[in-house]
Amino acid sequence: MTNKNLLVANWKMNLGPSKSAQLARDLRELANGLKKTEIWVAPSPVCLPAVLEQVKGSGVRSGAQNVHWAATGAFTGEVSVPMLQELSADFAITGHSERRHQFGETNELVVKRSLGALSQGLGVIHCIGEKLDERERGETNAVLARQLEPLFAEARADSFGNLVIAYEPVWAIGTGKVASVEEIREAHAFISGILGKYGAAACPVLYGGSVTPENYAGIIALDLVNGALVGGASLTLEGMRKLAEISEG
């Protein structure tokens, strides 16, 4: 996929079409000066056309925050891979913890989304992560394995080049409670072991959860961290500029 550090902005349900387009234009300029970092943006689906228009022909990639596995059909509220491809979107996020835990998306459903998107040639950022009670019970690795194994067991090896994994501990998302560097190192080492088992060691693995310019240097310095999936701090050019500077080293 890429050897560069990924800096992925997940704008969630923020920024309308005109603000998204403006920030995308600014990020395109920011990306021009970067050597070691790629910027990806996931706006709301209604803002995706405006964002893609701004980043067309640049190094900035843009995609959706979720995607359905079927090409068409009676699935109210969903977005398909061909729809995204018609817009030239590059990827979709799947399994974000807000989808899993606020909207009840099961692990089976998330895996179906990822497999469907990969089989149709779309890039996927497959999100995984444990809840606080699971971590406290010592179940972190079991949760991560449960969220990864069914995907790798079924995905075709020739789709691995389109796959990014994002480790986002649920308790660190939007809470200001970033995981410690040691917690991130341990989780990424465990994930790396699973990827290795399936011949997917080249898939980038991102960290997400309260990433800010204040804590990112220690995180991106970790060998097995290939970038970040950023919510709150990705909503301003200033936030993204500072994170990009840290990523450039």
Q: Pick the binder of ligand 13P from 95, 129, 169, 208 (CB under 6 A).
A: 208
Contacts with ligand 13P by CB under 6 A: the residue count is 14
Which residues have C-beta within 8 Å of that of residue 104, sequence separation ≥ 6?
none
The string of DSSP codes covering 24-85 is HHHHHHHHHT-SSEEEEEE--TTTHHHHHHHHTTSS-EEEES---SSSSSS-TT---HHHHH
Structural contact between residues 189 and 167, judged by C-beta atoms closer than 8 angstroms: no
Residue 144 has which token pair? 């991560």
- Please report, as residue ranges, which positions from 139 to 198 form the binding site for ligand 13P (by CB under 6 A): 168, 173-174
Angle formed by the axes of helices 17-32 and 48-55, nearest 10°: 30
- Please report, as residue ranges, which positions from 10 to 49 form the binding site for ligand 13P (by CB under 6 A): 10
134 is catalytic: no
Among 96, 105, 126, 188, the one annotated catalytic: 96
Q: Pick the binder of ligand 13P from 231, 243, 246, 247 (CB under 6 A).
A: 231
**66 is a contact residue toward ligand 13P (CB under 6 A):** no
Q: What angle do CA 185, 188, 189 make, to 5 degrees?
A: 80
* Binding segment (CB under 6 A) for ligand 13P, from list 16-24, 104-112, 148-156, 230-238: 230-238
Q: Give the nearer residue to ligand 13P in terms of CB position, either 45 or 196.
A: 45
Q: Pick the binder of ligand 13P from 55, 191, 220, 229 (CB under 6 A).
A: 229
* Binding segment (CB under 6 A) for ligand 13P, from list 53-61, 136-144, 217-225, 226-234: 226-234
Among 126, 130, 168, 188, the one annotated catalytic: 168
Q: Distance between CA 7 and CA 21 in Å, rounded?
A: 18
**130 is a contact residue toward ligand 13P (CB under 6 A):** no
What is the Rg, in whole angstroms, of the alpha carbon atoms belonging to the chain? Answer: 17
Rounded to whole angstroms, what are the CA distances from 80 to 73, 111, 155, 156, 210? 9, 15, 19, 20, 29
168 is catalytic: yes
Residues annotated as catalytic are 96, 168
**What residues make contact with ligand 13P under the rule CB under 6 A?**
10, 96, 168, 173-174, 208-211, 229-233
